[in-house]
Amino acid sequence: MNKNWMELEKKAQERNRAYVILGDKEVDYDPNFRLYLNTKLSNPQYGPDVFSKATVINYTVTMKGLEDQLLSVIVKSERCELEEQREFLIKETSQNKKLLKDLEDSLLRELATSTGNMLDNVELVNTLEETKLKANEVSEKLEMGAKTAIDIDILRDGYRPAAKRGAILFFVLSDMSSINSMYQYSLTAYLDVFQISLHKSMPDVVLKKRLQNIINKLTYNVYTYGCTGKFKVNHFKYKFYTKDYKIILIK
13-23 pLDDT, tens digit per residue, is: 556 777 777 77
Q: Is the pLDDT at 193 greater than 80, yes or no?
A: yes
Could you name the CATH architecture of 160-250? Answer: Orthogonal Bundle (1.10)
Greater model confidence, 41 or 134 = 134
Greater model confidence, 5 or 242 = 242
State the Cα–Cα distance between residues 73 and 58, nearest whole angstrom: 23
* Segment 122-149 mean pLDDT: 87
* Segment 51-73 mean pLDDT: 88
**pLDDT in the model for residue 13:** 56
For residue 171, report the phi and psi dihedrals to the nearest 5 degrees: -75, -25
Greater model confidence, 18 or 135 = 135
**pLDDT in the model for residue 247:** 36
Question: Using alpha carbons only, what angle is made at residue 180 by residues 179 and 186, rounded to the nearest 5 degrees?
Answer: 105
Closest CA to 194 of 240, 162, 171: 162
**pLDDT in the model for residue 243:** 55
Query: 249: pLDDT confidence band, cut at 50, 70 and 90?
Result: very low
Q: Is the pLDDT at 143 greater than 70, yes or no?
A: yes
Outline where 17-62 has alpha helix (H).
48-53
List, in order, residues 6 or more apart from 235 with CB less than 8 Å away.
227
State the Cα–Cα distance between residues 222 and 220, nearest whole angstrom: 6
* Segment 209-213 mean pLDDT: 96
Q: Whole-model pTM?
A: 0.70
